[in-house]
Amino acid sequence: MATQLQTLPEAAIIPAGANGGASAMTFALRSFLYAVFKHRRLVVGVFAVVFTAAVVAALIRPRVWQANTKVLVKLGETVQLAPAESPSKSVNLPLNTEVVNTEAELVKSRHVIERAVERLGIKPPPGTEMSELIDNLQLALTVAPTPASNILRISYFGRDPERSARMVNAITDAYIEEHNKAYRNEGIHSFYTEQLAILEKEMKAAQQRLKEYLGNENIIDVDQEISILNQDVQEQDKGLKAHLAKLMGAERKLAEVQAQLERTPVQVPFEEEWLSNPTIQTFKDKLANLEIERYQLLQHYMPTDRHVTDKDAEIASIRARIREEKDRILNKQTLQRNDLHRELERNADTLQVLLADLRSRTEPLQQRLDQTRKRLEELRDKRFVIDNLKQIAEEKAYAFDLYFKKQEESRIAEAMKDQSVVNVTVVERAAPPNDPVNGLLLPLLLGLLGGITLAASMAVAVEWLNRTLRFEEEVERYLELPVLAVIPDLHTLPDVAA
């Protein structure tokens, strides 16, 4: 066996020279390999134990699946004021630590996770409470920014790929809703939205009341109907007056025809035979005798004598009678029906028929005019009710339009306000992962590297505890004496050679 030399204390070690660095490295490598090969059974045993433990742990541990969603975080624009000679410009702010931490806390908030759990209908396992489930879900969530981008990656670690994908998507949706509520001012917009629903019901109710009233009263357009009825009343009144005038004219005409009919004889002479009047001849003869007697008396008496004047009076009386008598007397006369009388009777009958027709149509015309006037008066009275219903419906419609415009204005105002805060948008939703996070490759590699490292470290540590001088370099280094010869250990020579 080789001579065992007592090593010097570490304080007595002399530092190496300028070329000692390479030799030190060689010596260290040689010492390391020596320790490993010398304690190879220990190295193999430790490596086997560590690697086996890593393999068993990798095989029996549950699989963990990671589902990821990506959310674009856009910050509001910031206006950079430039000098007067150059225009101002606006730039989008990049993500910073404060924004990332804020969004991460918002994602992991209990309210967001509770809404996601409620949306998925997840119940806590038996024997646990909902608060414990929420705490576990918070631990399984991670939020990290994607380098050189404005995208946040929300990750969820679970033991089922489908459930992990659903959970992270539900959490992302709840986070988006909570983010919008946190950053948006929805008071005015929601107020106008609620008022619009109320005004829409009131407007439809007012329109329905107006429609039902018009339907019950058989009214389509009250103003147009009143205008038409006014024209009808005027025309019917004119027509009735014309009818009454025509009736009065027909009555007067009938009266005149009847008067003419009374004056007109029913029969008129058709043929007559006239004879000379014998009385006139007798008077003439008497007058001739009286003339002769007067002439005889004038022979004896003066013209003024009573006898002459009596004759003159008698002669005058006879002459008067002659003048009263007709020259001819009707001897024979033939009569026939008077055509004028017949025509007048026909006209009278026609006028009576016309009067009967006019009298029969007078009452319907008067009733029609009365009905039209009554309908006109009713429409005029109902127009006030219709105007009130129309006014109410128009006021409701105007209020609805006004609130609709206000809602649009509030929505636009809120959208403009969103330009100055943080806006988030889902750019990629989670899909069920194909491979678990904790696969077999990494544990095996860790077991391999850990086993080799631990085994080698233990071999080096055991050899380091042994303070025996093993190599010529150690003798020269610690004793500062040259080595002239080496007597090999015959028991360990085969192992060293191997």
Q: Is 220 a domain residue? A: no
Are 86 and 163 contained in the same domain? Answer: yes
Q: Is 422 a domain residue? A: no
Strands 141-145 vs 423-428: parallel, antiparallel or unpaired: unpaired
Q: Is 161 a domain residue? A: yes
Are 131 and 75 contained in the same domain? Answer: yes
- Helical packing angle, 441-465 and 20-38, nearest 10°: 100
Residue predicted with more confidence, 33 or 3:
33
pLDDT of 242 above 70: yes
Give per-residue pLDDT as tens, 330-347: 666 677 777 888 888 888
Are 274 and 175 contained in the same domain? Answer: no
Give per-residue pLDDT as tens, 291-313: 888 888 888 888 888 888 888 88
User: Is the Cβ–Cβ distance between 286 and 373 less than 8 Å?
Assistant: no
How many other β-carbons are positioned within 10 Å of the β-carbon of residue 340? 12
Are 130 and 153 contained in the same domain? Answer: yes
Residue 160 structure tokens? 């089922």
Phi and psi at 471, nearest 5°, equal: -125, 160
Give per-residue pLDDT as tens, 82-127: 454 455 455 555 667 777 888 888 888 888 888 888 888 888 888 7
Q: Is 206 a domain residue? A: no
Residue 219 structure tokens? 């009214």
Q: Is 14 a domain residue? A: yes
Which residue do the tokens 């959310």 mark?
Answer: 71
Which residue do the tokens 């390479």 mark?
Answer: 22
Are 71 and 168 contained in the same domain? Answer: yes
Are 80 and 121 contained in the same domain? Answer: yes
Are 72 and 32 contained in the same domain? Answer: no
Please report, as a single letter, which amino acid is at residue 259.
A
CA 469 to chain centre: 96
Task: Compute the distance between CA of residue 175 and CA of residue 390 in angstroms, rounded to an integer.
Answer: 48
User: Is the Cβ–Cβ distance between 76 and 93 less than 8 Å?
Assistant: yes
CA distance readout (Å), 91 to 81, 85, 157, 372, 464: 11, 19, 36, 77, 64
Are 85 and 172 contained in the same domain? Answer: yes
Are 36 and 48 contained in the same domain? Answer: yes
Q: Is 350 a domain residue? A: no
Q: How many degrees, rounded to 5, is the angle at CA 350 between CA 344 and CA 356?
A: 135
Residue predicted with more confidence, 463 or 469:
463
Structural domain boundaries enclosing 36: 10-61+438-497
Sign, CA torsion 168/172/173/175? positive
Sequence-distant (6+) residues with CB within 8 A of 425 are 71, 72, 74
Task: Compute the distance between CA of residue 390 and CA of residue 385 in angstroms, rounded to an integer.
Answer: 9
What is the model's pLDDT at position 11?
35
pLDDT of 17 above 50: no
CA distance readout (Å), 66 to 277, 439, 457: 159, 12, 36
Are 96 and 57 contained in the same domain? Answer: no
Total domains in the chain come to 3
CA 447 to chain centre: 65
Q: Is 464 a domain residue? A: yes
What is the model's pLDDT at position 79?
45
150, burial (CB in 10 Å: exposed 0-12, middle 13-18, buried 19+): middle
User: Is the Cβ–Cβ distance between 3 and 484 less than 8 Å?
Assistant: no
Residue 225 structure tokens? 């109907």
Phi and psi at 436, nearest 5°, equal: -75, 160
Are 52 and 134 contained in the same domain? Answer: no
Please report, as a single letter, which amino acid is at residue 295.
Y
Look at residues 142, 157, 183 and tell me which one is the last residue of a structural domain. Answer: 183
User: Is the Cβ–Cβ distance between 195 and 403 less than 8 Å?
Assistant: yes
CA 255 to chain centre: 78
How many other β-carbons are positioned within 10 Å of the β-carbon of residue 211? 12
Virtual torsion, Cα 328, 334, 338, 339, nearest 10 deg: -110
What is the model's pLDDT at position 439?
63
Give per-residue pLDDT as tens, 141-174: 888 888 878 888 898 888 888 888 888 888 888 8
Are 276 and 319 contained in the same domain? Answer: yes
Q: Is 243 a domain residue? A: no
Task: Compute the distance between CA of residue 472 and CA of residue 485 in angstroms, rounded to an integer.
Answer: 9
What is the model's pLDDT at position 152?
85
Look at residues 280, 313, 337 and tell me which one is the last residue of a structural domain. Answer: 337
Its pTM stands at 0.40
Look at residues 337, 370, 395 and tell me which one is the last residue of a structural domain. Answer: 337
306, burial (CB in 10 Å: exposed 0-12, middle 13-18, buried 19+): exposed
pLDDT of 70 above 80: yes
Of 180-194, 282-296, 422-436, which has the strongest mean pLDDT? Answer: 282-296
